[in-house]
Amino acid sequence: MLERKTKIERALLVGIRHPLQSQLDASESLYELERLVNTAGAQVIATTQQEIKKVDPATYIGKGKIEEITQMVQDYKVESVVFDEDLSPGQNRRLEEATKCKVVDRSGLILDIFAQHAKSKEGKLQVELAQYIYLMPRLVGQWGHFGKLGGGIGTRGPGETQLEVDRRRARERINHIRKALREVEKSRKVHRKKRQDVPVPLVALVGYTNAGKSTLMNALTHAGVLAENQLFATLDPTVRRMKLPSGRIVLVSDTVGFIHKLPHQLIEAFKATFEEIRTADLLLHVIDYSHPMREQQIATVNRVLEELKLNKKPILEVYNKVDLLGPSQATGSGIRISAKQGLGLENLLNQIEEKLSFSFRTLRLKIPYRLSGLVTWLYKVGEVKSRKDREDGIHLKIALSQANEARLRQEEQIKVRAI
């Protein structure tokens, strides 16, 4: 990856307002784009907005607007034009030719931030994979013009020199990364299996980027993970132990946040990271309740959860940053907390406890003596109500969490029956 330049890149933002979109939504989206650009290390010099009734298939925006942008590029001496939309490779290229300036779309920008924030080997591989999937359709013939337009945002990641590789080389690299990721995933599975042998339910923090997931993680577990007023500060998952009021131990995990129009390339590449959330017994949806767009952010997170098929999991909505709210603004049914000031955490823990036991159901199990080692585990994870050691095996009546029930059901030799 390239070193960040000392000179701060100058950017012009282009917001798009669609016919059904309100001015507030469009402005907030543009404001979010500005935060993304700042996080990527560039500076917003000017912004412009365009109302669009029909997308021009060749250039997205119309001729007049392109002329205006070209003029702004010269007047403000900007080095990149950042679109608050995804552009097709052809649109992107034609806009660069017309404006004589590097053009970065929303996905390209987000991928760039991910490239800068990836720390672990796996995170770096995942980002690189996402970038190659993004670049593939853009590698038409020679990649000549990018070199002329310079580096900076939207060009980091696989490395500028490698941007000139042809599609065949890119495909080879993609295969190579996929293979390497499968290896990492294998060892991750072993880890997970080990973790599941330890009888602890997993609570996963999910939510919009910057909602305060890592701050909450630190408040609950003293994990010391990076929490910053920055988008996508967290990329690598962290798991820590935490004690509930009853003394029961659970694991808490913090992972990458979601965003409006999360690039699908990232969802594909971060499959393994999201796979971790799949093993959770409970999701905590952390919401920045002080944010003017909180309803939209909640909807975005729910949509991504649905896409990842995680929407059936037990979930608790957590309204964070209530310290920034006036008393009259506190509506809704979520659990109110301030992760930063440590407010409402005890209540949150009680609710987690309640929700976790809520997801327990009572089962009858028949375990062959060959697998009697499992019984010790079951005593730790569940609530054993009765036990009979018969000739054909150990018969247990037990309350178990859904996740543990699912784990048991994978064992063919165990008979599981719900009561």
Q: Which two tokens stand for residue 2?
A: 């390239």
Q: Are the CB atoms for 47 and 15 separated by under 8 Å?
A: yes
Which residue carries 């609710």 as its tokens? 351
Which residue carries 């131990």 as its tokens? 249
What φ, ψ does residue 319 adopt, rounded to 5°? Answer: -90, 105
Q: Which stretch binds ligand GTP (CB under 6 A): 236-244, 304-312, 334-342, 368-376?
A: 334-342
**Residue 382 interaction partner, one of Mg ion, ligand GTP, none, beta carbon < 5-8 Å per kind:** none
Binding string to ligand GTP for residues 202 to 231, with x set by CB under 6 A, is what?
-----x-xxxxxxx-----------xxxxx
Q: Does 344 bind ligand GTP (CB under 6 A)?
A: no
Q: CA-to-CA distance for 41 and 83, rounded, in angstroms?
A: 16
Size of the site for ligand GTP (CB under 6 A): 24
Q: Are the CB atoms for 282 and 201 separated by under 8 Å?
A: yes
> Site residues for Mg ion, window 211-230 (CB under 5 A)?
213-214
Contacts 24+ apart (CB under 8 A), 227-230: 230/39
Least Å from the CB of residue 235 to ligand GTP: 8
DSSP string, 294-360: HHHHHHHHHHHHHHTT-TTS-EEEEEE-GGGS-GGG--SSSEE-BTTTTBTHHHHHHHHHHHHHHTE
Closest chain position to ligand GTP (CB): 257
- The single residue among 30, 95, 139, 233 that binds ligand GTP, judged by CB under 6 A, is 233
Least Å from the CB of residue 345 to Mg ion: 17
**Which of 143, 163, 150, 137 has the alpha carbon at shortest distance from 103?**
150
Least Å from the CB of residue 219 to ligand GTP: 8
Query: CA distances (Å), 260 to each of 33, 70, 266, 299, 375, in order?
Result: 10, 28, 13, 9, 45
- The single residue among 29, 91, 338, 401 that binds ligand GTP, judged by CB under 6 A, is 338
Q: Does 320 bind ligand GTP (CB under 6 A)?
A: yes
Q: Does 107 bind ligand GTP (CB under 6 A)?
A: no
**Residue 323 interaction partner, one of ligand GTP, Mg ion, none, beta carbon < 5-8 Å per kind:** ligand GTP
Q: Which stretch binds ligand GTP (CB under 6 A): 9-17, 293-301, 321-329, 351-359?
A: 321-329
- The single residue among 339, 348, 381, 394 that binds ligand GTP, judged by CB under 6 A, is 339
**Residue 321 interaction partner, one of Mg ion, ligand GTP, none, beta carbon < 5-8 Å per kind:** ligand GTP
Comparison of 213 and 285: residue with beta carbon closer to Mg ion? 213
Q: In angstroms, how far apart are the furthest CA atoms of the chain?
A: 87
Q: Which stretch binds ligand GTP (CB under 6 A): 74-82, 126-134, 167-175, 316-324?
A: 316-324
Q: Are the CB atoms for 282 and 315 separated by under 8 Å?
A: yes
Distance in Å from the first CA to the final CA of the chain = 56
Sheet holding 42-51, edge to edge: 42-51, 9-17, 80-83, 102-104
Q: Which two tokens stand for residue 356?
A: 């976790």
Least Å from the CB of residue 212 to ligand GTP: 3
Q: Does 334 bind ligand GTP (CB under 6 A)?
A: no
Q: Does 129 bind ligand GTP (CB under 6 A)?
A: no
Q: CA-to-CA distance for 378 and 340, rounded, in angstroms?
A: 37
Q: Does 324 bind ligand GTP (CB under 6 A)?
A: yes
- The single residue among 116, 234, 253, 265 that binds ligand GTP, judged by CB under 6 A, is 234
- The single residue among 234, 273, 300, 338 that binds Mg ion, judged by CB under 5 A, is 234
> Site residues for Mg ion, window 319-348 (CB under 5 A)?
none
Residues that bind Mg ion (CB under 5 A): 213-214, 233-234
Residues that bind ligand GTP (CB under 6 A): 207, 209-215, 227-234, 257, 320-321, 323-324, 338-340
